[in-house]
């Protein structure tokens, strides 16, 4: 039976260029839940996600994953899928070739898993179109496919619905809901209230780098 995971954000603060970006954030994230981050632009949502992921190290405080300190005991959260800001890909390669190159870094998955992830987000893995010819929505779909293709225990999605049409939003919502399980932690940020209300069981409201409230929209 799969065991759950835990992320503990322990009194985390971040200061960059003499500006307080995050201030004394304290939060526990547990498997089996979908957490939504809400707040205005500049409230600290993306920076908190980067600190949790291990891409940025906090000025003070720490992030622990299953008791291990991110940035000390482990460089990044192991088995993590993440999309923060605009996904970056090699524009002259197809979507499938981009994901194949990324998958080769770990060597955990092969063609079937890549194909399955692309199909799950509504992309054709056999299409020859290069990523440079992709629309914004197609690039977003490819970024989400990259995040889920290795079936990570932790899924961090910053504005995953950017650039998607109505059909795409519905498709990705259903994908996120289907991915939620007792062994997965899902953290997402969206400026669309309906996304948060439909998907998240716990909502973190951020304001000027502080965690103002933690509520349930149910």
pLDDT digits (tens, 9 = 90+) for 103-146: 998 888 999 999 999 999 999 999 999 999 999 999 999 999 99
Please write the tens of the pLDDT for every residue from 157-190: 999 998 899 999 999 999 999 998 888 999 999 8
The structure tokens listed for 105 are: 């870094």
**pLDDT at 218 (0 to 100):** 59
CA atoms of 183 and 186, how far apart (whole Å)? 10
Please write the tens of the pLDDT for every residue from 3-32: 689 999 999 999 999 999 999 999 999 999
What are the two backbone dihedrals, phi and then psi, of residue 213, each rounded to the nearest 5 degrees?
Answer: -160, 155
**113: part of which helix (H) or strand (E)?**
helix 111-120
**Going from the N-terminus, what domains does the chain have, and what CATH number goes with each?**
1-79+153-218 (3.40.50.300), 88-151 (no CATH)
Residue with tokens 């307080």: 20
CA atoms of 188 and 45, how far apart (whole Å)? 9
Query: What is the reported pTM?
Result: 0.92
């Amino acid at each position: 039976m799969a065991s759950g995971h835990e992320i503990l954000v322990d009194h985390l603060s971040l200061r960059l260029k003499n500006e307080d970006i995050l201030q004394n954030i304290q939060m526990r994230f547990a498997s089996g839940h979908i957490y939504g981050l809400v707040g205005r632009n500049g409230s600290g949502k993306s920076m908190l996600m980067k600190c949790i992921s291990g891409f940025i190290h906090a000025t003070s405080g720490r992030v622990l994953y299953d008791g291990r300190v991110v940035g000390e005991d482990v460089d990044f959260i192991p088995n993590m899928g993440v999309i923060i800001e605009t996904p970056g890909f090699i524009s002259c390669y197809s979507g499938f070739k981009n994901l194949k190159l990324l998958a080769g870094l770990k060597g955990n998955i092969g063609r079937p898993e890549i194909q399955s992830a692309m199909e799950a987000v509504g992309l054709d893995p056999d299409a020859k179109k290069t990523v440079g010819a992709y629309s914004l929505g197609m690039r977003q779909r490819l970024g989400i496919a990259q995040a889920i293709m290795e079936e990570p225990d932790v899924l961090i999605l910053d504005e995953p619905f950017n650039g998607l049409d109505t059909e795409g939003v519905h498709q990705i919502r259903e994908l996120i809901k289907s991915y939620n399980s007792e062994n997965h932690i899902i953290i997402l940020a969206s400026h669309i209230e309906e996304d948060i209300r439909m998907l998240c069981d716990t909502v973190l409201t951020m304001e000027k780098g502080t965690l103002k409230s933690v509520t349930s929209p149910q």
